[in-house]
């Protein structure tokens, strides 16, 4: 079933079609929302809110873009609204500049020998500690494989900014992981080819 047929079925009140739509796109919504919100206790509620919005607004979907892009846009807008509310309430410390100090202090890194999986885990912690815009574009570009144009459509950020975020994030993380490898003097990447 293609997206147009799926939308038509959902609009006709077919519950199985809606269930299928949720199953198909819940991973995408979870990634977008999770990377922005970073609070597991709120993740489920916000993902539900996203799909309820999708259900309500589906009749406005004209097929100008892919359904995944349209759903990702709703997920992004919903999550970023929650994020800003949290920020206003002072529940989050917010910085536009990358701050990787917390991750650097991770005691797990003091081990002499860090396995490949641990190094990857450390990198993923670093990704989570990046500012929200960096995390979002990394998720959309690398994890969900959206194009620059689609990310621009989803987030409203100009293409140049998206490219800049991706490149800066990459450079930051690379520098960080290489620095850790040097500092720890471990064979952290010995097995890694």
Partner 1 sequence: MYNEDRNFDTDQLLKEAFTSEPEFKLSENFTDLLVEKVEKRFAWAQYLREFLIYLSVLFGIMVVSAVLAFVWYNAKVDNWLSFLASNASLVIGINLLVVFVLFADRVLLRYFMYRASSE
List C-alpha distances in Å: 37 to 8, 42, 58: 31, 8, 24
Ranges within 105-144 binding partner 1 (CB under 8 A) = 116, 119-120, 123-124, 127-128, 138-139, 142-143
Dihedral sign, CA of 153, 158, 160, 166?
Answer: negative
DSSP state of 140: I
Mutual angle of helices 159-184 and 116-128, in 10-degree steps: 140
x/- track of binding to partner 1 for residues 40-79 (CB under 8 A): x--xx--xx--xx--x------------------------
Retrieve residue 155's tokens.
Answer: 């987030």
- Binding mask 81-100 toward partner 1 (x if CB under 8 A, else -) reads --------------------
Q: How far is the CB of 169 from partner 1 (least distance, A)?
A: 9
CA dist 103 and 112 (Å) reads: 17
Binding site for partner 1 (CB under 8 A): 13, 15, 18-19, 22-23, 26, 30-31, 34-35, 38, 40, 43-44, 47-48, 51-52, 55, 116, 119-120, 123-124, 127-128, 138-139, 142-143, 170, 173-174, 177-178, 181-182, 185, 187-190, 192-193
């Amino acid at each position: 079933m293609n997206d147009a047929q799926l939308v038509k079925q959902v609009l006709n009140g077919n519950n199985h079609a809606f269930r299928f739509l949720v199953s198909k796109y819940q991973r995408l919504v979870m990634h977008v929302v999770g990377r922005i919100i970073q609070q597991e206790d709120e993740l489920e509620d916000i993902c539900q809110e996203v799909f309820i919005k999708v259900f309500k607004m589906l009749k406005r979907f004209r097929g100008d873009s892919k359904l995944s892009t349209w759903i990702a846009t709703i997920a992004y807008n919903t999550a970023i609204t929650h994020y800003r509310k949290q920020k206003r309430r002072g529940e989050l410390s917010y910085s536009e500049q990358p701050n990787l100090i917390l991750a650097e202090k991770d005691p797990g890194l003091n081990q002499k020998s860090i396995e490949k999986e641990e190094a990857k885990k450390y990198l993923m912690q670093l990704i989570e500690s990046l500012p929200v815009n960096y995390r979002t574009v990394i998720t959309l570009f690398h994890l969900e494989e959206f194009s620059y144009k689609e990310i621009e459509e989803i987030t409203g950020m100009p293409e140049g900014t998206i490219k800049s975020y991706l490149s800066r994030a990459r450079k930051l993380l690379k520098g960080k992981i290489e620095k850790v490898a040097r500092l720890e003097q471990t064979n952290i990447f010995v097995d890694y080819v």
